[in-house]
């Protein structure tokens, strides 16, 4: 439409609106294309995919909406079943409390046997011939050897034993009993440093003490007099809970450790293996002068076991991932010492208990390998996506 005064042509208002809409559409299409391109790039990033998978795991097992679609009368019956389930959970908690009471009862009898064991280890009691009368697999095998072979094998064995331990017939008790166990068990061996070993040679006994209120137990590490610290006993206290969580009552699986507390080690001067001194050079910003400072930092050591990170008093307070990982490992170790090491110490010393556990592990691995072989026959099988061949996270430490 022409304007006679200005000599220009003005487009109708409707046409101006249409052109603006078209511009908006073009811009939106461009932005959409950029978003798709960005998403494509991100989905090819392994770190982004891993983070996304972690988020999606939270939704696993969540209701699909099926329960919500049920008639009111059916929903009420489901609620009735949940109420029955909660009653079962409460009874289960009572059951575990009685089991703990039974453990305490029998522990009094166990202590008598543990004391006899300690006396033999520490050379306070020399077993009689009758007390030593126990069948040995090695002895049965030796019967099939000729005398010459038997003597040769014995000489080689004695030579090897003397080379490693430097023990002889005059050796008292069973030296390095607990240190040998610690070195045999992978879970504990990972904690023991070379400079810890001279200290652990003085470990005379590990005792277990149950307590009822609150439910839990204490591990007592008894040491002979040594040049490293003045403590005769180092303690590790574990507290357990045996009641369903109000926020998640159906998640109850029995008693579990939720808190632990160590003790103060009275190290002698210059003998603290849990810390180390490092030297650092610092340069003055303006003058350029250099000075050397010393700093004390934590050192890897088994004896850090007696200084665990504190558990927040407020149950709603969240712990950082590092603290949570340390406590999870600590609970696992405390549970393992209580359930396995103390009751079966001699079998871990000889390695027989280790053989049993290794055999069980190998059986599981063979089963998995069998499954893998079957799956490899599938032309669509992708081993990189198979969860069974990836490292699994350790289960939460439960005390049952």
- Residue 302 pLDDT: 96
Beta bridge partners of 207: 220
Q: What is the DSSP letter of 55?
A: H
- Residue 371 pLDDT: 45
Separation of alpha carbons 383 and 373, rounded Å? 11
Strands (E), the chain: 2-3, 8-9, 203-211, 216-223, 233-241, 256-261, 275-283, 290-298
User: Tens digits of per-residue pLDDT, 141-182?
Assistant: 444 444 555 555 555 555 455 445 677 788 899 999 999 999
Separation of alpha carbons 346 and 114, rounded Å? 11
Contacts of range 336-339, beta carbons closer than 8 Å, 24 or more positions apart? 336/187, 337/206, 337/219, 338/208, 338/217, 338/219, 338/238
Q: How far is CA 118 from the centre of its chain?
A: 29
The tokens describing 137, both together, are 């697999």
Q: Which residues of 170-206 are buried (b: 16+ CB within 10 A; e: fewer)?
A: eeeebebbbbbbbeebeebeebbeeebeebbbbbbbb
Give the pLDDT means over successive 10-residue stretches in the chain (400 positions). 48 50 63 72 67 60 71 87 85 81 83 92 91 71 49 54 66 93 94 96 94 86 96 93 71 72 95 89 73 84 93 73 87 92 94 67 46 45 44 40
- Residue 203 pLDDT: 97
- Residue 253 pLDDT: 66
- Residue 101 pLDDT: 80
HSE (CB half, 13 Å, CA atoms) of 346?
A: 8
Q: Quick one: CA dihedral 353, 358, 361, 363, positive or negative? A: negative
The pTM of this model reads: 0.62
- Residue 215 pLDDT: 82
Cis peptide before 214 (omega within 30 of 0): yes
- Residue 151 pLDDT: 59
User: Tens digits of per-residue pLDDT, 7-21?
Assistant: 444 444 444 455 666
Separation of alpha carbons 363 and 342, rounded Å? 26
Q: What's the Cα-to-Cα distance from 38 to each of 35, 43, 50, rounded to whole Å?
A: 5, 9, 17
The tokens describing 284, both together, are 């003055």
Separation of alpha carbons 110 and 23, rounded Å? 85
Separation of alpha carbons 111 and 207, rounded Å? 8
The tokens describing 308, both together, are 């665990």
Separation of alpha carbons 85 and 250, rounded Å? 8
CB atoms within 10 A of CB 60: 6
- Residue 167 pLDDT: 79
CB neighbours of 31 closer than 8 A, spacing ≥ 6? none
- Residue 266 pLDDT: 97
Separation of alpha carbons 274 and 279, rounded Å? 17
CB neighbours of 265 closer than 8 A, spacing ≥ 6? 229, 231, 234, 272, 274, 303, 306
- DSSP-derived secondary structure for 151-168: HHHHHHHHHHHHHHT---
The three-class DSSP label of residue 145 is coil
The tokens describing 347, both together, are 């079998």
Domains of the chain: 70-128+146-313+320-365 (3.30.1120.90)
- Residue 269 pLDDT: 93
CB neighbours of 239 closer than 8 A, spacing ≥ 6? 214, 215, 216, 257, 258, 259, 260, 261
What angle is formed at CA 128 by the lines to CA 124 and CA 131, rounded to 5 degrees?
A: 100
Q: Quick one: CA dihedral 336, 337, 338, 341, positive or negative? A: positive
Separation of alpha carbons 70 and 66, rounded Å? 7
Separation of alpha carbons 372 and 368, rounded Å? 6
Separation of alpha carbons 250 and 348, rounded Å? 37
């Amino acid at each position: 439409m022409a304007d006679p005064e200005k000599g220009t042509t003005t487009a109708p208002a409707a046409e101006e609106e249409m052109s603006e809409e078209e511009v908006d559409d073009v811009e939106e299409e461009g932005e959409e294309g950029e978003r798709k391109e960005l998403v494509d790039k991100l989905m090819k990033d392994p770190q982004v995919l891993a983070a996304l998978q972690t988020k999606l795991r939270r939704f696993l097992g969540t209701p699909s909406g099926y329960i919500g679609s049920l008639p009111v009368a059916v929903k009420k019956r489901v609620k009735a079943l949940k109420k029955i389930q909660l009653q079962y959970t409460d009874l289960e908690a009572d059951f575990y409390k009685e089991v703990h009471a039974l453990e305490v009862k029998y522990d009094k009898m166990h202590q008598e046997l543990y004391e006899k064991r300690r006396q033999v280890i520490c050379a306070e009691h020399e077993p009689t011939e009758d007390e030593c009368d126990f069948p040995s697999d090695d002895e049965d095998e030796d019967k099939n050897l000729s005398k010459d072979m038997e003597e040769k094998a014995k000489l080689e064995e004695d030579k090897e034993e003397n080379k490693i331990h430097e023990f002889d017939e005059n050796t008292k008790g069973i030296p390095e009993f607990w240190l040998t166990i610690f070195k045999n068990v992978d879970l504990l061996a990972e904690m023991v440093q070379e400079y810890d070993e001279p200290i652990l040679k003085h470990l005379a006994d590990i005792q277990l003490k149950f307590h009822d209120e609150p439910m839990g137990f204490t591990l007592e590490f008894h040491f002979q007099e040594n040049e490293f610290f003045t403590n005769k006993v180092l303690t590790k206290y574990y507290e357990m809970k045996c009641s369903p969580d109000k926020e998640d009552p159906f998640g109850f699986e029995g008693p579990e450790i939720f808190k632990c507390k160590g003790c103060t080690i009275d190290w002698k001067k210059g003998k603290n293996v849990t810390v180390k001194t490092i030297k650092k050079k610092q340069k003055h910003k303006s003058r350029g002068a250099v000075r050397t400072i010393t700093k004390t930092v934590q050192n890897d050591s088994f004896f850090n076991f007696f200084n665990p990170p504190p558990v927040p008093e407020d149950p709603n307070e969240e712990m950082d991932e590092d603290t949570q990982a340390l406590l999870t490992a600590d609970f696992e170790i405390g549970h393992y010492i209580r359930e396995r090491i103390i009751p079966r110490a001699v079998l871990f010393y000889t390695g027989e208990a280790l053989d049993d556990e290794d055999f069980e592990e190998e059986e599981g691995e063979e089963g998995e390998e069998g499954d893998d072989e079957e799956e490899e026959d599938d032309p669509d099988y992708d081993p990189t996506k198979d969860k069974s061949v990836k490292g699994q996270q350790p289960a939460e430490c439960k005390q049952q």
